Amino acid sequence: MLISAEPILALEPVDPCAAIDQRPFGMHPAMAFGLADRYAPARAAGVAWTRDPPYVMWQLVDPQRTGDPARMRWAGSARDPSIGKDRPFDFDRGMRDAVKSGLHLMWNIGIEPISEGYLQPGVWKPTDPAAYASFVRAAVRRYPEVEVWQVWNEIDLPATRRLTGFADFYRLTRDAIKAVNPAAVVVLAGSAGAFEYYDQLLAELGGRGVDVFDFHLYSDPLGGTLSAGEGYADIEANARRYRALLDNHGFAATRLWSTENGSFSGAVKVGPEGQEIESTATEADQARDLPKRWIVALASGVEKLFWAWGMTEGFGPWDDDLFDHTGLLYDGHGGRLGAPKLAYWAYWQMTRQLEGCRWRRVSRIKTSAPHARAYRCPLASGGDVVVAWWDTFRVPGWTPGTTAAITVPWEGATAISRAAVPSAASGAEVAKPEDAFTTATLAPRDGAVTLTLGADPVYVREK
């Protein structure tokens, strides 16, 4: 009888996503840089999931490509060619602190293609596939708390799109993950928007082995009026397009997530390199945009959304670009380190008002007012949460104080409307969040309730 030396894959669950925490509230990343307790703001805001840097890279953990778990290092520092300097890393601490804070973990794993000597020239193939697979198995074995592993990220960017063979690289990595933890959720590298690239990749993968498909969308807080194709409503079109793509290639059971999704406040330059234009948005603009992204995503079949980038503003060295303005806490530019923006409190309010929803049954309600939207979120305990807003930035000549009325179905005996954004000029002014949101008691009549909408979205619950 022949005995194979290859690992035997255990039978994986039919749907590994069914076994993980179903809450859709993620952050990329949830850690607040520069604070003593890096996850305290995330705990307070109700964040459920974190996707944290740095990625678990072969060149960090096993720089000599030995494949020997005894020689692998899980903390230290190494040259990061993307920023041109050493980057510290401590995966043990990252896992420990996040789990202690009650967060669920999604980590990226793979090979940084900028580093030489780890991939064969021009192809997504490790220079030593066996050593690389050993590194992946060692990481998954060391960190059983990580429920979700993503195989690298945004491979459709111009810098990496030239490399071929990612389907084989994905299979190699996925099989190594599942060999150690068959229940792990494995996510395909997130899409930065090159639809045709993923059309070809999914065809090569042949309808098997992808638990979750991930797409990313930045950055306009005013619904795409500042930068076409980057507003919250564009989540609908992207979700439809990727869902059709997945179904067409045999991935009907693959879940859809968006682990990088967000918008900015302040003054930033957006657009193609060399053609940038400066756009400006207020803290309130960003805060109003935040819950819209979650609600539209859920209603479009996207099961988890991670706000990015990130809990704290600033992405690498400060250069005043888009990703230096997308956070929920200031990092010392524009506000003191750790000072919350209004969008932080919008997140805080969202997780409380939507807690207990049946996430996969969020649906849109028809409204008659132009530029107004309303959604129904059924509660597992009975009743609904209605989320509604009016995109006042699309209304010609709109001035603060002008309102629109919409009527939505309502079966409850009572109804309380709560604003999604604090009634403050900035997040730093919110001293007691429990009292910071405008509340109104409504009078249901004949199975409906009338909402008066201004610039801020509202949540309506029976209690």
DSSP, collapsed to helix, strand or coil, labels residue 109 as strand
Please provide residue 205's backbone torsions phi and psi, each rounded to the nearest 5 degrees. -80, -20
Rounded CA-CA distance 8/10 in Å is 6
Residue 272 has a pLDDT of 67
CB 139 within 8 A of CB 145: no
| Long-range pairs, 156-162, Cβ under 8 A, ≥24 | 156/191, 156/192, 156/193, 156/194, 156/197, 156/198, 157/192, 157/194, 159/113, 159/114, 160/113, 161/194, 161/197, 162/122
Please provide residue 14's backbone torsions phi and psi, each rounded to the nearest 5 degrees. -60, -40
- Number of helices (H) and strands (E), helices first, in the chain? 10, 21
CB 389 within 8 A of CB 292: yes
Residue 258 has a pLDDT of 98
CB 455 within 8 A of CB 390: yes
Residue 141 has a pLDDT of 98
Residue 270 has a pLDDT of 67
Residue 81 has a pLDDT of 64
Question: Using only C-alpha atoms, what is the Rg of the chain?
Answer: 23
Per-residue pLDDT 10s for the chain (463 aa) are 333 344 444 444 579 999 999 999 999 999 999 999 999 999 999 999 999 988 999 999 999 999 999 999 999 988 766 667 787 899 999 999 999 999 999 999 999 998 889 999 999 999 999 999 999 999 999 999 999 999 999 999 998 999 999 999 999 999 999 999 999 999 999 999 999 999 999 999 999 999 999 999 998 999 999 988 999 999 999 999 999 999 999 999 999 999 999 999 999 876 667 777 889 999 999 999 999 999 999 999 999 999 999 999 988 778 888 999 999 999 999 999 999 999 999 999 999 999 999 999 999 999 989 999 999 999 999 999 999 999 999 999 999 999 999 999 999 999 999 999 999 999 999 999 999 999 999 999 999 999 999 999 999 999 8
The CATH superfamily holding the domain 364-461 is: Golgi alpha-mannosidase II (2.60.40.1180)
Nearest-5° angle of CA 89, CA 95, CA 101? 125
Rounded CA-CA distance 138/176 in Å is 9
Q: What topology does CATH give the domain 16-359?
A: TIM Barrel (3.20.20)
Residue 271 has a pLDDT of 64
Residue 85 has a pLDDT of 76
C-alpha distances (whole Å) from 159 to each of 112, 113, 154, 278 are: 12, 9, 10, 25
Rounded CA-CA distance 39/97 in Å is 7
For the chain, the domains span 16-359, 364-461
User: Of 230, 216, 232, nearest to 157 (Cα)?
Assistant: 216
Enter the pTM of the model: 0.95
